[in-house]
Chains A and B, each alone.
Chain A
Amino acid sequence: MGDSDRMERRRAVAADRVARYERMVEIRAFEDRVQGLFSEGRVHGTTHTAQGQEAVAVGIAAAVQTTDLVTCTYRGHGIGLALGMTPEVILGEIMGRDIGCVGGIAGSMHLCDRELGLLPTFAIIGAGIPVAAGAALTAQVRGTDDAAIGVFGDGAANIGAFHEGLNLAAIWNLPVVFICENNQYGEYSRIDLTTPIEDLADRAASYGIPGIIVDGQDPDQTFEAVSAALAVARSGGGPTLLEMKTYRYAGHSRADKAEYRPEGEFERWYERDPINTFRARLESEGLLAPGDAEAIDERVAARLEAALQAVEESPPATVDAMFGNIYAPV
C-alpha cells in the first residue's frame, strides 16, 4: 500500500465507528498472528503485543490530527495500525525486512511514520513523555494549533521522566495530552506492587492539571476523552493526564506466559472485552447488520494473509539502510 492508503486508513478511523471496530479486529488478529509467528520461530528478537488494549489505540487515532505528533511505547503495533500504518509495514519491521516501516533495521519496538505523526516509538520507559511535551512546545512557539500526544504505560508513571515531563508541560501550559495505558502490569509486576496509589490520574493534581480516569475498554469513551483533552490543549488550556484503565491479555513479551496473574483475572476482564462489547453496541444501534461482523473478520484475515505474503517476498534489511541514516546531511 502506498502513502494514500495509509492516509485513507487514518481518515476511515477518524470518520466512522464501524471502521474503528474493524481496526480493533485487525489489531487483535495482527497481534495474535505476530505471537504465532514468534512461537513458530519464524521471527527473531522480541515483541510486545497489545491484545485487550485495542480501544485505547483507536480512540487516540480517531481523535488526533495528522499534524499532531504522537509518542508511544515499544508496545506500539496497535497504535501504529490504528493511526493508519499498514499491516505489511509493521509486520515487515517486526520481521526485519526491507518493506518494514524503517527498512527492517529497527524491529518490533521501533515503529515510525512521519506523515501519520508517529515519532519513533520509545523503548526506554517514560522517554516519550517529555519528548511529547517538546513537540507541543514547537506548536506553542510557532503559534500553530497542533498538539502532541504522549502515550505510556502504568510502569512509566514511576520514572522521573513522567514527573519532569508533566511538571514542565504544566508550567509552560503546553498543548499536550498525556495518556497512561494502565494495563495493570509493568513486565511481570502487578501495579499494586510498584505503585502506592490506585489511580494514576491522581498524580495530575501534583502538577495542577486535570487527571481523568477513562474506561480504556470502550472506544467511544476513549475517543471522547482524547478529543475533549485535545480541544482543551488546542485552545490554550494546557495539558491533561488521561488514565485509561485497560488490560494486557498476553504476557509482557514473547516469552512470557503471564503465569503470575491471579486466577480469574483475565476472565473478569474478558467479560468486558473491548471488541465484543463494541460489536454488541454497534449491532444494537443497527450499524452492524447480521453477517457484517463475520464479513469484517474475513476481510481482516485476508488482509493479514496478504500482508504476510508481501513481507515474506520482501528482501531482508539492507546494508544501505544500516549505514544510510546515521547523520542527516549538512
Chain B
Amino acid sequence: MVRMRMNQAVAAALADEMREDPDVVVFGEDVAVAGGPFKTSDGLLEEFGPSRVRDTPISEMGFLGMAVGAAASGLRPVAEIMFIEFLGVALDMVVTEAGKFHFLSRGAFTCPITVRASIGAGLGFGCQHSQTMENWMSHAPGLKMVMLSGPQSAYGLLRSAIRDPNPVVVLEPRALYGGRGQVTTGADGILPLGEARRVREGDDVTVVSAGAMVKVALAAAEASDDWSAEVIDLQTLIPWDRDGVVSAVRRTGRLVIVEESPYTSGWGTEIAAYVGARLFGELRAPVLRITCPDVPVPFGRELEQRYMPNPGYVTDQIDQLLATGRVPDPWWVGEGRSA
C-alpha cells in the first residue's frame, strides 16, 4: 500500500496500464508536457514518450473523434476532458458514435475509449466549471460510466475502465484530487466495474452515494448515535449494481441517496424508482434523495458549500426521516423556495 493523492492515483493507474499494454495512449489538453492541468498524468510523457502521450489543441470534438477512430482500429485511448462542461462541444463522439459502434457493426467493431473528465463544485470555479453532468451520458446504452470517490477508487476503477472493451466515461470529482489515502496498486488494487462497494456497515438505513458525496455520507453516518447507517459507494453509475443495492436496502428497509447534482433527473432518481418499485411494501420509510437545488452552481464560498449536501445537513435529513417516517423538505424550502 502506498499513500498518495487521488490525482497521483489516477497517474499511477494510467502508468500501470501503459506499462502492461502498449496500445494504451493518452491525450488531452496540457496532459503531456505539463503533466495535466490537475497533475493527473504527471511523468507519463517522460516514461512513455511523445507518440503515446500527446498534448492536443483545444479541440474536444476533434480529439474525442480521434479517440473513437483509434479505439475502433485497435488502440486503447484515454482522452482527458479538463472540465466536464467541455464535453458538451464533443458529446456526439461519446454518446452517438462511441456508444453505437458495437451495435452498428453487429459486434464487429469495439470502441474501448476511456474519457476522463473532472467534475463537481466546491472549488469556486463558478457555474460553467462546477457541474457533474452525469445524465448527459445516462440515456445512451452502449456506454459505461464510473465516478471516483478517492485514491483507491481512482486507481482501481480507472484501470478497469481502460481494460474494458466498451467506451467508459470516468467522472473525477475535482475537489478530491488533492485528498490522500492508502492505495493498493497492482492487480489487487483493481476494482471491477458494475459493482457497488459497501464502505460502512449499518442496520437502520442504507445510504447510497457516489463521487465526492461518499465522504459526506460517511461523515454524516459517523455523526449519529441514534441510528446506524450502511454507506454504499455506487462506483459505477452505468450499469449500476441493481442487485447489490436492492439486497442492501432489503436488509435495512430504508434508502437514502446522496447526490452532488440538481434534484431533477439525478442518477438517484433512477435508483429511487427502481428500488421503490421492487421493494414496495418492504420499505419502512419512503426513499429520500438528498441533492443540490435546481439552480446553477453559485460562486460565493459559503453559498457554494451550502449548495452541496454537507455532513450536518445529511445527518439532519436522516434524523427527520427516521423520526417522522416522512421525507423531510430540503433546506431551500425553509428559504421560501419550492421543493
Contact = CB atoms under 8 A, between A and B. Distances in A.
Interface of A: 69, 71, 101-103, 105-106, 110, 112, 114, 119-120, 122, 124, 127, 129-142, 148, 160-161, 163-165, 167-168, 171-172, 321, 324-330
Given A120-B100, A328-B110, A164 B69 contact: no
Nearest to B75: A138
Given A132-B69, A161-B62, A137 B100 contact: no
Contacts of B75: 137-138, 141-142
A161 B65 contact: yes
A83 to B, nearest CB: 14
Contact of B65 (A110, A129, A328): A129
B182 interface: no
A328 B52 contact: no
A127 B65 contact: yes
Those 8 A-B pairs whose CB atoms lie nearest each other, nearest first: A134-B69, A130-B65, A164-B62, A134-B66, A120-B104, A131-B69, A164-B59, A114-B108
B94 to A, nearest CB: 11
A324 B61 contact: no
Contacts of B96: 124, 127
A114 B73 CA distance: 10
Given A112-B105, A130-B93, 10 more contacts: A69-B72, A131-B97, A134-B67, A134-B71, A138-B75, A142-B74, A161-B61, A168-B59, A328-B110, A330-B164
Interface in B53-67: 54, 56-57, 59, 61-67
A134 B107 contact: no
Nearest to B92: A124
B89 interface: yes
Nearest to B57: A167
Given A120-B104, A138-B73, A168 B52 contact: no
Interface of B: 23, 25, 51-52, 54, 56-57, 59, 61-75, 77, 89, 92-93, 96-97, 100-110, 112, 141-142, 144, 163-166, 193
B92 A127 contact: yes
Given A132-B69, A138-B75, A324 B107 contact: yes
A114 B68 CA distance: 15
14 contacts: A71-B69, A120-B104, A131-B68, A134-B69, A134-B72, A139-B73, A141-B23, A164-B59, A167-B59, A168-B56, A168-B57, A324-B107, A325-B105, A326-B102
B283 to A, nearest CB: 31
A326 B141 contact: yes
A130 B51 CA distance: 18
A289 B71 CA distance: 48
A137 B61 CA distance: 16
B89 A160 contact: yes
Contacts of A137: 25, 66, 69-70, 75
